[in-house]
Amino acid sequence: MRIHQLFILLISFFITFPVLGQTQLDLNAKATADFQAADAEMNQVYTKILLLYKNDVPFIKSLRSAQRAWLVFRNAELDALYPVNPNEDRHLIYGSVYPMCYANSKTELTRARTEQLRAWLKGVEEGEVCVGSVKLDRELKKGLK
């Protein structure tokens, strides 16, 4: 019976050990790394779109403009989520979790934008209407070959 209790205690320790080892700095670093991965993925998708649609000059110009506007929107959205007065420090107002929360919110917005951009890589089936500059999926498949 004693060995059984010791075994359960040891298993409980090892299951919770990774949680006990995380500091706020670790959580902040992980959230930042998650954002960097999401940002890299979005940039890859954006670059693929630029290559696939390179001959559609008006679209490329508009997409670049939209992406710049989205970056302004994203930053404004984050400022609205974590507002401060001039000369205030967000870290003092929102605490030690601020870098993690900020990075998590930035990651969420970036992933949503990536999904919006993917529409130009997925394409649409023939017969779809109101898709604007999104190419037909069969055209995209030819372009990828």
- What's residue 124's pLDDT? 86
- What's residue 41's pLDDT? 98
pLDDT tens digits along 8-43: 655 655 565 555 569 999 999 999 999 999 999 999
Mean pLDDT within 111-124: 95
- What's residue 21's pLDDT? 63
- What's residue 16's pLDDT? 53
CB of 81 within 8 A of CB of 105? Answer: yes
Structure tokens at 96: 């030690």
Tell me the pLDDT band of 7, cut-offs 50, 70 and 90.
low
Structure tokens at 41: 């993925």
Neighbouring CB atoms inside 10 A of 61's CB total 10
Q: Give the least confident one: 14-18, 24-28, 48-52, 85-89.
A: 14-18
Structure tokens at 70: 């989205």
Distance separating alpha carbons of residues 46 and 51, to the nearest angstrom: 9
Question: pTM for this structure?
Answer: 0.80
CA angle 40, 42, 43 (to 5 degrees): 65
CB-count burial class (<10 Å; 0-12, 13-18, 19+) for 39 = middle
Distance separating alpha carbons of residues 75 and 77, to the nearest angstrom: 5
CB of 37 within 8 A of CB of 114? Answer: no
- What's residue 129's pLDDT? 84
CB of 98 within 8 A of CB of 77? Answer: no
pLDDT tens digits along 56-72: 999 999 999 999 999 99
- What's residue 128's pLDDT? 84
Distance separating alpha carbons of residues 106 and 69, to the nearest angstrom: 15
